[in-house]
Each structure stands twice: as structure tokens, then as C-alpha cells.
């Protein structure tokens, strides 16, 4: 969210507040210039993705460049990508959601119970889809209410939901894997359109809808405002608590969509689905350039972050490298991405806040504008900061 500064001109009493774009202000939060803006950050991600693909072609040859392998990468990216879209909104809004993996598991289990599948057989398989969406959304609603109105830290609230939702999924499924019996459901979501898998199309539609919602609606502008400065957003008339609840409901809804996708891909509903999915989603969002402190982020960057991580795993697999080495590589990439964010956002790696800068001493304190600056005076003898011959020092310069 853009901040504001107050410049004093013409005298002590006059002030002209004006908005400052944090991504464009020289020497400010966006001191990185072009590369600190959304276009520059996304361009850097495109270059990184291209380099990763080049490495894949060099090390794995036709096995990587094959069309079937590309579709495999997109299928694997689809589930975590859908969850990451919802996570992007939550993090831009200044929150965090550690429960997404457990919500995916709970939604998949609830949607594949014998009772739900029997109802779907009697009515239509859409019943299973609606069940997953409703379960995810309701769980997200609980998260939002506890955080916004219960004043519980998002980290703690969603961590509690992670444990509770996973445990509830185990109870419902009795620690067993539930098989999807509806062939029409499997045929629809496991098929393709013009050679493109349905799951990939779902990911593309969710990402497109998320982009429009974030960049072309009032909801998106309010999300940036709440994440940038919640108090300023409240004073501007935004109902911060209500908006926070909506963000977590949106995250829960994407978890329900991801549960449907996992059910179609694995033909099962299980309490083990979505294990560590929250870490993959947060990593993809951070790699995509979304600030963990909120107020800045893009859906395009998140999609690129998901593709980078999924492609990295594919390259490791094709080269017979261990999953442990892949985990180490992911950790290094995450740390590097956060450090790069700091570099682009501040123009350096210094974590010292501007308020920590040393202040000048040695002269009288002059009561000026809110920023402590006075214009219209001089530093010569007889001016506001100087001495008056033959008289005592008058701080007001009168």
C-alpha cells in the first residue's frame, strides 16, 4: 500500500500531504527502480524459469523437452497453484494460512464419504464438488472469524486449524483411504480439452479469476490497503475485520477446489492429502514476489513461482537426484528470494529502519511541521537557526 508524506512549503504552518508510490519512489521503499516494480519482478521470474528449463534440456535432453513431460509438470503444478492463489490474497492482506494442506485433506475426505457418494449417485456428481467447496469455505470462515474478531494471531489460529482439520479428517475416514466410485466424476476431471488436461484448465481459470479479482475490483484494492496499513484502511472506511474474514473464506474455497482436483487425480479421498502443501504454497507465493508483511504481490508472480518449483522438482527427478537434495535446493531458493525482495524493496540489505538514523544535534530545536522540517528561514546570523547580534537567541526567529 502506498504511504504518504507531508511536505512543508512557504512557512511553518503550511503542509501538503500527497501519496507516494512505494514501488517507484527513489530512495524509498521501492528504491530498486524498474526491477522493484511488478513488471521487473515478473520479468526476473520469467528469466529464472527460462534458465531452469535450459538446465533441464541440457541435463535431461528429450526426456525433459517432451510434450508429455511438460503436461506432467503442469498437472503437478495445478493443485499447489490453486492453493497458492488463495494464499496470495491472504498474505497480501497481511495474514498467513498454515491450514491449507489440512483443509484440502478434510474437504477430500468429507466429499468421498459413503453418504456423500451415495447422494451423488442419486443426484449428480456435482454434489461431491459442492461438498468439498462448502467444507473448505466453512473452515476458512472459522479461521477468519477467530483471527478478525477473536483477535488471535493468524499464525496461531491457522496452526490450530491445521491440527484440528487433519484430526477430524482422520476421524471421518477412520484412518482409511476412501475410493471415489463415481465414474462420471473421474471421467470429467481426468479428461482433457483439445489435448490440455482438465486440471490444468482449472488452474488457469482460477489464476485468471484471481488476477481479475486482485487487480480489477474494489476487493483487490481493499486487500492491498488492509495489508499495507490496516489502521489507515480502517480510517479510510474499510471494514478491516469483515474483509479479513473474506480473505480466509477465499483461501478455504481454493482449498476445496484443490481437494476436487486431488480426488480426480488420485481417485481417492484421504486424511494424508495435502501434507506440507502449506509450505509449498507459501514458498511459491514468496518466490513470486509477494511480501510476507503484506501490501504487495501479484498473481502472475505466484503462478511463475509455482512453475519454477514444480519444474525444479521435475529436473531433479529426471536426473535421479534425491528428494533430500531437492529440499535443500528449495530452502536455498526461498532464502535467496527473500533476500532479493529486501534488496529490491529497500535498495540494500540493511534491515535498519529509517527511524534508527542518527539525528543531528547542536542547535536549538525548532517547532516546525509534523516531520520536524521548517522552510522559509536561513542559516545566517539573524535567521531562525543563527544568532542575532546584540540580542538573545530567539528559537522562533522573531
In-domain check, residue 328: no
In-domain check, residue 375: no
Q: Which residues pair with 3 in a beta bridge?
A: 20
> What is the per-residue pLDDT for 10?
40
> What is the per-residue pLDDT for 33?
55
In-domain check, residue 282: yes
CB atoms closer than 10 angstroms to residue 310: 21
How many Å apart are CA 252 and CA 254, to the nearest integer? Answer: 5
pLDDT per residue as tens, the chain (398 positions)? 444 433 333 443 333 333 333 333 333 344 445 555 667 677 878 888 898 899 889 888 888 888 989 999 999 999 999 999 999 999 999 999 999 999 999 999 999 999 999 999 889 999 999 999 999 999 999 999 999 999 999 999 999 999 999 999 999 998 889 999 889 999 899 888 888 899 999 999 999 999 999 999 999 999 999 999 999 999 999 999 999 999 999 999 999 999 999 999 999 999 999 988 999 999 999 988 888 888 889 999 999 999 998 998 889 888 888 778 878 887 887 787 777 766 665 555 444 444 444 444 444 444 443 444 334 444 444 444 444 444 444 444 44
In-domain check, residue 211: yes
- Report CA 28 to chain centroid distance, whole Å: 23
Whether the Cβ atoms of residue 100 and residue 278 lie closer than 8 Å to each other: yes
> What is the per-residue pLDDT for 348?
52
> What is the per-residue pLDDT for 344?
62
> What is the per-residue pLDDT for 193?
86
Buried b (16+ CB within 10 A) or exposed e, 317-353: eeeeeeeeebeebbeebbeebeebbbebbbbeeeeee
Buried b (16+ CB within 10 A) or exposed e, 360-387: eeeeeeeebbeeeebeeeeeeeeebbee
In-domain check, residue 258: yes
C-alpha cell read off for 70: 511438460
In-domain check, residue 192: yes
Task: Supply the Cα-derived Rg of the chain in whole angstroms.
Answer: 26
In-domain check, residue 295: yes
Pairing of strands 192-193, 15-20: unpaired
Pairing of strands 178-179, 268-269: antiparallel
DSSP symbol at 269: E
How many Å apart are CA 298 and CA 228, to the nearest integer? Answer: 14
How many Å apart are CA 287 and CA 337, to the nearest integer? Answer: 6
In-domain check, residue 14: no
How many Å apart are CA 336 and CA 352, to the nearest integer? Answer: 19
The domain in which residue 224 lies consists of 78-308
* Cβ-Cβ contacts under 8 Å for 336 (sequence gap 6 or more): none
pTM across the whole model: 0.77
Structural domain total, the chain? 1
CB atoms closer than 10 angstroms to residue 398: 5
Amino acid at each position: 500500500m502506498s504511504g504518504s508524506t507531508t511536505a512543508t512549503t512557504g512557512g511553518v504552518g503550511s503542509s501538503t500531504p500527497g501519496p507516494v508510490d512505494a514501488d517507484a519512489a527513489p530512495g524509498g521503499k521501492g528504491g530498486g527502480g524498474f526491477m522493484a516494480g511488478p513488471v521487473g519482478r515478473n520479468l526476473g521470474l520469467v528469466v529464472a524459469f527460462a534458465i531452469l528449463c535450459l538446465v533441464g534440456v541440457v541435463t535431461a535432453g528429450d526426456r525433459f523437452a517432451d510434450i508429455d513431460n511438460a503436461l506432467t509438470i503442469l498437472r503437478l503444478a495445478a493443485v499447489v497453484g490453486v492453493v497458492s492463489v488463495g494464499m496470495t490474497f491472504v498474505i497480501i492482506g497481511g495474514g498467513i494460512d498454515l491450514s491449507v494442506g489440512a483443509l484440502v485433506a478434510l474437504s477430500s475426505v468429507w466429499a468421498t464419504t459413503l453418504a456423500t457418494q451415495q447422494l451423488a449417485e442419486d443426484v449428480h456428481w456435482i454434489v461431491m464438488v459442492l461438498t468439498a467447496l462448502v467444507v473448505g469455505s466453512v473452515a476458512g470462515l472459522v479461521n477468519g472469524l477467530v483471527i478478525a474478531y477473536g483477535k488471535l494471531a493468524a499464525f496461531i489460529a491457522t496452526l490450530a486449524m491445521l491440527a484440528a482439520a487433519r484430526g477430524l479428517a482422520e476421524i471421518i475416514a477412520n484412518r482409511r483411504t476412501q475410493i471415489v466410485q463415481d465414474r462420471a466424476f473421474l471421467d470429467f476431471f481426468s479428461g482433457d480439452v483439445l489435448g490440455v488436461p482438465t486440471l490444468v484448465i482449472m488452474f488457469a481459470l482460477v489464476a485468471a479469476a484471481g488476477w481479475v479479482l486482485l487487480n480489477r475490483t474494489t476487493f483487490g484494492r481493499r486487500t492491498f490497503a488492509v495489508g499495507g496499513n490496516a489502521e489507515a484502511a480502517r480510517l479510510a472506511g474499510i471494514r478491516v475485520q469483515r474483509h479479513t474474514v473474506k480473505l480466509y473464506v477465499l483461501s478455504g474455497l481454493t482449498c476445496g477446489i484443490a481437494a476436487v482436483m486431488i480426488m480426480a487425480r488420485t481417485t481417492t479421498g484421504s486424511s494424508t492429502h495435502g501434507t506440507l502443501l502449506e509450505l509449498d504454497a507459501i514458498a511459491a507465493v514468496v518466490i513470486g514476489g509477494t511480501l510476507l508483511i503484506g501490501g504487495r504481490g501479484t498473481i502472475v508472480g505466484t503462478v511463475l513461482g509455482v512453475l519454477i518449483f514444480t519444474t525444479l522438482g521435475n529436473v531433479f527427478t529426471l536426473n535421479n537426484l534425491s528428494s533430500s537434495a531437492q529440499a535443500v535446493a528449495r530452502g536455498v531458493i526461498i532464502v535467496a528470494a527473500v533476500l532479493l525482495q529486501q534488496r529490491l524493496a529497500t535498495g540494500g540489505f540493511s534491515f535498519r529502519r529509517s527511524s534508527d538514523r542518527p539525528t543531528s544535534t547542536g542547535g536549538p530545536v525548532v517547532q516546525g511541521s509534523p516531520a520536524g522540517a521548517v522552510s522559509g528561514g536561513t542559516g545566517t546570523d539573524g535567521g531562525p537557526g543563527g544568532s542575532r547580534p546584540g540580542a538573545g537567541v530567539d528559537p522562533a526567529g522573531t
